Structure 1
Amino acid sequence: MEKRKMSVFQLTIITMVNMLGSGIIMLPAKLAAVGSISVLSWLVTLTGAMSLAYIYARLGTYGHNRKNGMGGYSENTFGKFGNFLINYSYGISLIFANVAIAVAAVGYGSTFLGWDLSSTDIVIWTIIILLIATFANYWGPRVTGRIGSVTVWFVIIPVGFIAIFGWFWFSGHTFATSWNPHHLNLWSGITESVPITLWSFLGLESAASNSDAVENPERNVPIAVLGGTLAAGIIYILSTNVAQGIIGHAALAKSNAPFGLVYASILSPFFGKLVMAMMTISCIGALLGWQFTISENFRVSAVAGYFPKFFKLVNAHGAPFVGMLTIMIIEFILSFMTINPTLNEQFNQLVNLAVVLNLVPYLLCMASLKVTEVNQMKLGCEVPFHRTTMFIAFIAGIYSIYSMYACGIDILAAGSLVVFFGMLVYGLIADRFTGFTL
């Protein structure tokens, strides 16, 4: 019996919920550090994110590409090297992102418990949370998925409440006073905020992964992906900006638990503590899912011959646990390498590194669209709005390059070194794909 397909509305909701994870919980603090002028960066990022999401939805409707994910899209244009580089850059970016999520969990948890942590304490607790997230994945994807489907609501509910009802406590004067505290020009005010706003949309590339589960995917997947991305963006914009109209930018920028601070201000310290606890749990739940996602990415890459064979090993529950332990050790090392005097500074550095590396797959996929669609046309398939789609892919590509620049020269240089090292690694294994081996 054929499995019942999802409606376009159901897929839209799933797409939105997938993006409304732990990425938002530190946003008010990071944006307050720039000022409420950061609202302008949301307009830029939302345009870029929707362009990226549409192209991924478009690529996801071509079944032969969907089987190999982003690497399959890139291979059409850049060959095996493009496939490798996407898997490599995406995997490393998720490792940085996971450490950032763990740091965010430490921020909310320590504020909830009233702990004043040193930089070394932050690293130690980050490692403890990564340990918990890794070993909780031992029982496989089914258990991980069930936990994540519950804990994600621990962030969606408080953030959604602020986005809708927070305006009752919103002060136009507070928002205006926080507009541009550092007297940045318009370009700098937008650019400073782009990396952290894009961070909240990371994962949009997975939004088209349910193409087979919806009726008429050629029509409904782009609608659902764009609708879900837009809905998530509206919630991000409303919740972060209303927070800046409730709490002054100075206090908000220094907070390790900004949404908890907002709730303590508008309701009571009890509700502030409750939200801190909820978001700590949500972060850990999200971390479970992302730890599994990374290990699965490495496993698939190992099957393709890009990564060492031990990443292919799975336990009796279907979890690639050996690879997961290896990734955990790398995350421990990164936790120490990115140590900073304050939690916010460490979080910011990790986010920027994750964003830069995640933009490499974005760029390669945008650049692969034309060849992919031309191949479809050669096969006799209908490819509607090809020229319009190519223009959107170009805009998404330019946005990706701009976002790399916005992360800063030092972060861009560090990310480039990671990519260059990947090129060296590929050179050592390229003979596997040429057919000429010793």
Structure 2
Amino acid sequence: MMANTKRELGLMAALALVVGNMVGSGVFLLPATLAPHGWSAMGGWMIALAGTLALAGCYAALSRQMPGTCGPHAYVETAFGPRSSYIAAWSYWIGVWVGNAALAVAVVSNFTVLWPALGQDPLLSAVMAVLVLVLVTLINLAGAPAASFVQVATTGLKLLPLLAVLAIAAWLLATKGAAAVVNPPQAMHADGVITSVTLTMWAFLAFESATVPADKIRRAHVTVPLATMLGPLLAGVLYKAISAAMIALVPADALAGSNAPFADFAAPFIGGQAAALIGVFAAISALGTVNGLTLTVAELPRALALAGQFPTRFAVLNKSGAPAAGLILSGLLPAGLVLLNIDRSLAGLFEFTILVATSAMLIGYLAVAVAAVKLLKGWLRLVGVLGVVYSLFALYAAGLEPNLWCIALVAAGVPVLLYSRR
């Protein structure tokens, strides 16, 4: 069957898939989250980029060795068997639905430019984040056409806030030079760098996107590795430029207290109303990512159910062809996570959820890196070793609380597997 699959995606399409998924991963609140760490955050970006490239090297080498193999879980299964693959898939699923909680918070936070009360009332902001999740779940329950319409409508907006910040920063530096810099470069501190590593890793999640539809990509043995390596490199350069601009040109206390950092950055230069549009674009972009990931997070339980590793009801499609049980569960779980942490501010809730989501994804990345050490030959094994070292370091940098949440959520997959195999 693989040989008969029409391969429609070339390098540019695969690269757009990787970069588009990463840029839509909720980067719009990271400047505020990283603000307390100042220039140390740049060290976090550098380590996260280097580590992501090491992990991308694992995926690229494995995809070249096994062209047409769809997804990282296939690599883990080839190396260690179906049980290990299940844990990797379960961790990935956790990372995506927890990430959706963070993205829903990002949607609400950016809308504070129009409704400031959202940033002042934790209960109201939590309820609105839950409503975002409910709305997107209902859209996906209506079937793929409705979800695709929302995705197409939001995709074009995701780059506008990023480009606006870069354009304003370039104009400021060109016209005012050093006088525009309110926070000149300073020495980095180890604690700030370490804390920033996992936070910045959040922006690189989905770098492996090109490996999932590998059977639909032309010359997969060449295209997938190139897209997997170039994607995070291009995104990393963009992220570092934006982060440096905001750190240098915005007072740290103002940036740290912002619920919509891109809009607040632009407001003094283009006016409040135009800046509000940037905030709205950022919110809509995050909404589009929630929509795209919602279908992904529902399809994974269905795939596991078809493999006998998840309750059979999750394999059933509704009249619209949507995996209803998976969609409902994958909407309820992030909503519950948001409500359980209702006492946190928007910035605090965003930081907590991205640390849990990134930790869960790192377990899957770690599994692939270990698989690379086993499956690859010669010097390529060193890439796997570097991926293992970075994954472990990033998990350590996430801190105790996110990792405890992650361990508990991953452990919950064991009884689910046992129940499904009764």
Residue correspondence of structure 1 range 366-381 to structure 2 within 5 A: 366-373=369-376
Note the C-alpha offset of 1:103.
0.7
1:95 to 88, 94, 97: 97
- Measured against aligned partners, the alpha-carbon deviations of 1:168-194 in whole angstroms (never above 9, x if no partner) come to 2246567573656xx9x6321211111
Q: Which residue of 1 aligns with 2:36?
A: 33
Q: State whether residues 183 and 247 of structure 2, in contact with CA within 8 Å, keep that contact through their aligned partners in structure 1.
A: no
Q: Which residue of 2 aligns with 1:141?
A: 144
Q: Which residue of 2 aligns with 1:125?
A: 128
Q: Which residue of 1 aligns with 2:259?
A: 256
Which secondary structure does the structure 2 equivalent of 1:204 belong to? Answer: coil
TM-score where L is the length of structure 1: 0.88
Residue correspondence of structure 1 range 188-267 to structure 2 within 5 A: 188-267=191-270
Q: Which residue of 1 aligns with 2:75?
A: 73
1:323 to 322, 326, 338: 326
Which secondary structure does the structure 2 equivalent of 1:87 belong to? Answer: helix
Q: Which residue of 1 aligns with 2:362?
A: 359
Judged with a 3 Å threshold, the aligned counterparts in structure 2 of structure 1 residues 14 and 428 are, in CA distance, closer, same or farther, namely closer
Judged with a 3 Å threshold, the aligned counterparts in structure 2 of structure 1 residues 64 and 168 are, in CA distance, closer, same or farther, namely closer
Q: State whether residues 22 and 155 of structure 1, in contact with CA within 8 Å, keep that contact through their aligned partners in structure 2.
A: no
Which secondary structure does the structure 1 equivalent of 2:381 belong to? Answer: helix
- Measured against aligned partners, the alpha-carbon deviations of 1:313-346 in whole angstroms (never above 9, x if no partner) come to 1123321122211222222211111223411001
Q: State whether residues 61 and 211 of structure 1, in contact with CA within 8 Å, keep that contact through their aligned partners in structure 2.
A: no
1:159 to 147, 159, 162: 162
Q: State whether residues 127 and 332 of structure 1, in contact with CA within 8 Å, keep that contact through their aligned partners in structure 2.
A: yes
Q: State whether residues 134 and 328 of structure 1, in contact with CA within 8 Å, keep that contact through their aligned partners in structure 2.
A: yes
Residue correspondence of structure 1 range 302-317 to structure 2 within 5 A: 302-317=305-320
Instruction: Name the CA distance, whole Å, in 2 between partners of 1:133 and 1:28.
Output: 26
Q: Which amino acid aligns with 2:318?
A: N
Q: State whether residues 110 and 117 of structure 1, in contact with CA within 8 Å, keep that contact through their aligned partners in structure 2.
A: no
Note the C-alpha offset of 1:370.
4.0
Q: Over the residues paired in the alignment, what is the CA RMSD in angstroms? A: 2.4
Residue correspondence of structure 1 range 396-415 to structure 2 within 5 A: 396-415=387-406
The answer to whether the aligner puts 1:388 opposite 2:376 as a matched pair is no
Note the C-alpha offset of 1:17.
1.8
Q: Number of aligned pairs?
A: 415
Q: Which amino acid aligns with 1:363?
A: L
Q: Which amino acid aligns with 2:109?
A: G
Note the C-alpha offset of 1:134.
0.5
Q: Which residue of 2 aligns with 1:418?
A: 409
Q: State whether residues 50 and 230 of structure 1, in contact with CA within 8 Å, keep that contact through their aligned partners in structure 2.
A: yes
Judged with a 3 Å threshold, the aligned counterparts in structure 2 of structure 1 residues 9 and 64 are, in CA distance, closer, same or farther, namely closer
Q: Which residue of 2 aligns with 1:44?
A: 47
Instruction: Name the CA distance, whole Å, in 2 between partners of 1:311 and 1:263.
Output: 45
Judged with a 3 Å threshold, the aligned counterparts in structure 2 of structure 1 residues 417 and 114 are, in CA distance, closer, same or farther, namely closer
Note the C-alpha offset of 1:65.
7.4
- Measured against aligned partners, the alpha-carbon deviations of 1:346-370 in whole angstroms (never above 9, x if no partner) come to 1111111101111111111111124
Instruction: Name the CA distance, whole Å, in 2 between partners of 1:104 and 1:88.
Output: 24
Q: State whether residues 207 and 232 of structure 2, in contact with CA within 8 Å, keep that contact through their aligned partners in structure 1.
A: yes
Instruction: Name the CA distance, whole Å, in 2 between partners of 1:178 and 1:425.
Output: 52
Which secondary structure does the structure 1 equivalent of 2:81 belong to? Answer: helix
Q: State whether residues 59 and 66 of structure 1, in contact with CA within 8 Å, keep that contact through their aligned partners in structure 2.
A: no
Instruction: Name the CA distance, whole Å, in 2 between partners of 1:64 and 1:305.
Output: 26
Instruction: Name the CA distance, whole Å, in 1 between partners of 2:106 and 2:5.
Output: 42
**8-17 vs 197-206, which moves further:** 8-17
Judged with a 3 Å threshold, the aligned counterparts in structure 2 of structure 1 residues 118 and 311 are, in CA distance, closer, same or farther, namely same
Q: State whether residues 338 and 349 of structure 1, in contact with CA within 8 Å, keep that contact through their aligned partners in structure 2.
A: no
Q: Which amino acid aligns with 1:96?
A: V
Q: Which amino acid aligns with 1:327?
A: S
Q: State whether residues 29 and 258 of structure 1, in contact with CA within 8 Å, keep that contact through their aligned partners in structure 2.
A: yes
Q: State whether residues 175 and 246 of structure 1, in contact with CA within 8 Å, keep that contact through their aligned partners in structure 2.
A: yes
Note the C-alpha offset of 1:19.
1.4
Note the C-alpha offset of 1:279.
1.4
Judged with a 3 Å threshold, the aligned counterparts in structure 2 of structure 1 residues 256 and 360 are, in CA distance, closer, same or farther, namely same
Note the C-alpha offset of 1:148.
1.7
Note the C-alpha offset of 1:165.
4.9
The runs of 5 or more residues in structure 1 that have no matched partner are: 374-385
Which secondary structure does the structure 2 equivalent of 1:366 belong to? Answer: helix
Note the C-alpha offset of 1:110.
2.4
Which secondary structure does the structure 1 equivalent of 2:343 belong to? Answer: coil
TM-score where L is the length of structure 2: 0.91
The runs of 5 or more residues in structure 2 that have no matched partner are: none
Instruction: Name the CA distance, whole Å, in 2 between partners of 1:199 and 1:178.
Output: 26
Identity %: 25
Instruction: Name the CA distance, whole Å, in 1 between partners of 2:64 and 2:149.
Output: 27
Note the C-alpha offset of 1:23.
1.9
